[in-house]
């Protein structure tokens, strides 16, 4: 087996690796590092969790340790699809370069240009950026890319999903053709293949088998849930979620709760908060400082429930997550593997629970096909009697005052009604998150209205029943799909007419 000491890395980098507690290089590291140190291009086909970040940062630091940066002319560039990933890569540089004198700057949206300009002016060895923000700086004439010796594209398949490929091509064309390129993608879609054929020269191809299996340390279960009435689905589903959390009792140390839609991320977070659970949302529409605060809180154990979209949580490295709950079955089976891989890390035990409505059964079949096992079925934790009792007064479950027992689980701050909504939450700026979510984004601009108009379970007042339930029905219909039209059709066709008009 290859050892780090066999890899020709700078001794100061080796020291930092030892301090990080790594014993041996992972397969992507032993495959990519030697070629990268020779100055060759690398095409790494690997996903997050394989140690791919170190597979490019370690050789970069070793190579950049010689030489000095000039003002406004960074020597290397790492492009990441999201701000969180960029920040995570920057953290990796800090860890591995702590004994080497290198300067770095992080160019991400949501942070003031002024500080970033000042860092670039001083000269940086490593520039870590999201494509849009990098081009903004370039267009303002603050940055020259002609000094780039090494360029990294991380998570290229996500860049493709998010519509960044034209930006990436442009950035490639602004850098010298003599640069070394280290290119990483979890999959090789035709468009990615085209880019690598155009911009990489004779790359060392290192492919790490796609993770189709889930860790044995993760206990998986699914709750089959059918609403008593279609217009009550959202409310009842959130109740199932609360019951699931309660059932886990002390065993649930913390959890990431995944939703397929950004609207649901907000809604579920607000609902849980209202019931006294320590919960906060994270998705692409929230402003950067809020996202960072939420993530830091979750990492440090100050926040118990992180409600997330796939893109926001992708690649995030939180070492100890006891539970993953899929509020929705993911539309892409591979996302299931990514999601539940947030728990059961490094040999720890973890639990993944998925809520599946009849509409999601096909997606669940795809998940079970991919992971090649049948996921244990759990009974709906909301007992039939309770369901019946709750049925006549639709909102009695969700609008009732939270029970004191539940409140007692939370921190005092979380018990307040949700008055802490940030401007970004109240009036989200629509950001490209995932193409398949695009039709829903039109709807996602609506939560602004939901602030003045109480939702079923996040509402504050007790309005007359009639108007409440008719509102509830409209809200629920927004996310409702028209069924019976086959699988392969443009996604906007699957939306109800109300929703299309709303867009
Ligand atoms: P990544 O795939 O870059 O997101 O890395 C996933 C996790 O693996 C991170 O927490 C790294 O700190 C950790 N890691 C990276 N390389 C190694 C290694 N050689 N041994 C143990 N852990 C590692």
H or E stretch at 195: helix 190-199
Number of CB atoms found within 10 A of residue 162's CB: 22
Tokens of 7: 């890899």
Ligand 1, atom 13, residue with closest C-alpha: 51
Picking from 160, 260, 501, the residue whose alpha carbon sits closest to that of residue 492 is 501
Q: Does the beta carbon of 455 sit less than 6 angstroms from any atom of ligand 1?
A: no
Q: Please give the domain boundaries of the chain with CATH numbers for all domains.
A: 4-207 (3.40.50.300), 218-388 (3.40.50.300), 417-502 (no CATH)
For residues 53 and 93, the answer to whether their CB atoms sit within 8 Å is no
Angle of the 83-96 helix axis to the 52-64 helix axis, nearest 10: 50
Q: Does the beta carbon of 48 sit less than 6 angstroms from any atom of ligand 1?
A: yes
Q: Is the pLDDT of residue 23 over 50?
A: yes
CA separation for the pair 462, 468 (Å, rounded): 9
Split at pLDDT 50, 70, 90, the class of 212 is low
Q: Is the pLDDT of residue 447 over 60?
A: no
Q: Does the beta carbon of 53 sit less than 6 angstroms from any atom of ligand 1?
A: yes
Q: What percent of the chain has pLDDT over 70?
A: 73
Q: Does the beta carbon of 354 sit less than 6 angstroms from any atom of ligand 1?
A: no
Contacts of residue 142, Cβ cutoff 8 Å, sequence gap at least 6: 72, 117, 120, 121
pTM over 0.75: no
Angle of the 361-371 helix axis to the 333-340 helix axis, nearest 10: 70
Stretch 313-319: mean pLDDT: 69
Tokens of 402: 């939270």
Confidence (pLDDT) at 342: 80
Q: Does the beta carbon of 49 sit less than 6 angstroms from any atom of ligand 1?
A: yes
Torsion angle, alpha carbons of 318, 306, 442, 423, to 10? -110
Confidence (pLDDT) at 150: 98
Using one digit for the tens of pLDDT, what is the confidence trace for 266-293?
999 999 999 999 999 998 777 778 888 8
Stretch 242-268: mean pLDDT: 93
- The best mutation among 1, 26, 46 to test binding of ligand 1, ranked by most ligand atoms within 8 Å of the C-beta, falls on 26
Radius of gyration over every alpha carbon of the chain, rounded to an integer in angstroms? 24
- What one-character-per-residue DSSP string does 27-86 give? HHHHHHHHHHHTT--EEEE--TTSSHHHHHHHHHHHHHTSS--BTTB-SEEEE-SSHHHH
Q: Does the beta carbon of 267 sit less than 6 angstroms from any atom of ligand 1?
A: no
Write a three-state SS string for 248-278: HHHHCCCEEEECCCHHHHHHHHHHHHHCCCC
Confidence (pLDDT) at 283: 83
Q: Is the pLDDT of residue 503 over 70?
A: no
Tokens of 390: 């709750």
Q: Does the beta carbon of 54 sit less than 6 angstroms from any atom of ligand 1?
A: yes
Split at pLDDT 50, 70, 90, the class of 390 is low
Distance 144 CA to ligand 1 centre (A): 32
Distance 60 CA to ligand 1 centre (A): 16
Split at pLDDT 50, 70, 90, the class of 346 is low
Ligand 1, atom 12, residue with closest C-alpha: 51
Residue with token string 């996604």: 491
Distance 47 CA to ligand 1 centre (A): 12
């Amino acid at each position: 087996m290859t050892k780090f000491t066999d890899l020709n890395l700078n001794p100061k980098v080796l020291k930092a690796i030892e301090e990080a507690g790594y014993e041996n290089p992972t397969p992507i590291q032993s495959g990519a590092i030697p070629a990268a140190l020779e100055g060759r291009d690398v095409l790494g086909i690997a996903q997050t969790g394989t140690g791919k970040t170190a597979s490019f940062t370690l050789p970069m630091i070793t190579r950049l340790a010689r030489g000095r940066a000039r003002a406004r002319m960074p020597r290397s560039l790492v492009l990441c699809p999201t701000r969180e990933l960029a920040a995570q890569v920057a953290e990796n540089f800090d860890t591995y370069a702590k004994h080497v004198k290198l300067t770095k700057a992080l160019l991400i949206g949501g942070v003031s240009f002024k500080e970033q300009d000042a860092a670039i002016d001083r000269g940086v060895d490593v520039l870590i950026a999201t494509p849009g923000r990098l081009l903004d700086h370039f267009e303002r004439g603050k940055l020259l890319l002609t000094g780039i010796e090494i360029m990294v594209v991380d998570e290229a398949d996500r860049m493709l999903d998010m519509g960044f490929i034209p930006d990436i091509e442009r950035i490639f064309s602004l850098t010298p053709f003599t640069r070394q390129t280290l290119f990483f993608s979890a999959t090789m879609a035709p468009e990615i293949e085209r880019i690598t054929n155009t911009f990489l020269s004779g790359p060392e191809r290192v492919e790490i088998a796609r993770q189709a299996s889930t860790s044995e340390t993760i206990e998986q279960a699914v709750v089959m849930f059918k609403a008593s009435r279609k217009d009550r689905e959202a409310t009842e589903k959130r109740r199932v979620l609360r019951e699931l959390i309660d059932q886990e009792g002390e065993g649930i140390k913390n959890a990431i709760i995944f939703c397929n839609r950004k609207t649901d991320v907000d809604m579920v977070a607000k609902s849980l908060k209202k019931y006294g659970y320590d919960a906060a949302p994270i998705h692409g529409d929230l402003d950067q400082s809020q996202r960072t605060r939420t993530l830091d809180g979750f990492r440090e154990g100050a926040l118990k429930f992180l409600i997330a979209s796939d893109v926001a949580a992708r690649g995030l490295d939180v070492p100890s997550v006891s539970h993953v709950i899929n509020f929705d079955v993911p539309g892409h089976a591979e996302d299931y593997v990514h999601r539940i891989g947030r728990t059961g890390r490094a040999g720890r035990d973890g639990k993944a629970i998925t809520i599946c409505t009849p509409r999601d059964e096909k997606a669940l079949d795809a998940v079970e096909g991919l992971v090649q096992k049948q996921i244990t079925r759990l009974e709906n934790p909301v007992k039939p009697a309770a369901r019946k009792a709750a049925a006549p007064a639709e909102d009695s479950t969700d609008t009732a005052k939270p029970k004191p027992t539940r409140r007692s689980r939370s921190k005092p701050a979380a018990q307040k009604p949700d008055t802490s909504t940030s401007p970004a939450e109240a009036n989200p700026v629509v950001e490209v998150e995932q193409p398949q979510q695009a039709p829903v984004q039109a709807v996602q601009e609506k939560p602004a209205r939901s602030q003045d108009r109480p939702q079923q379970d996040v509402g504050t007042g007790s309005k007359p029943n009639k108007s409440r339930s008719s509102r509830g029905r409209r809200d629920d219909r927004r996310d409702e799909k028209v069924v019976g039209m086959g699988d392969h059709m443009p996604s906007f066709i699957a939306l109800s007419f109300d929703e299309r008009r709303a867009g």
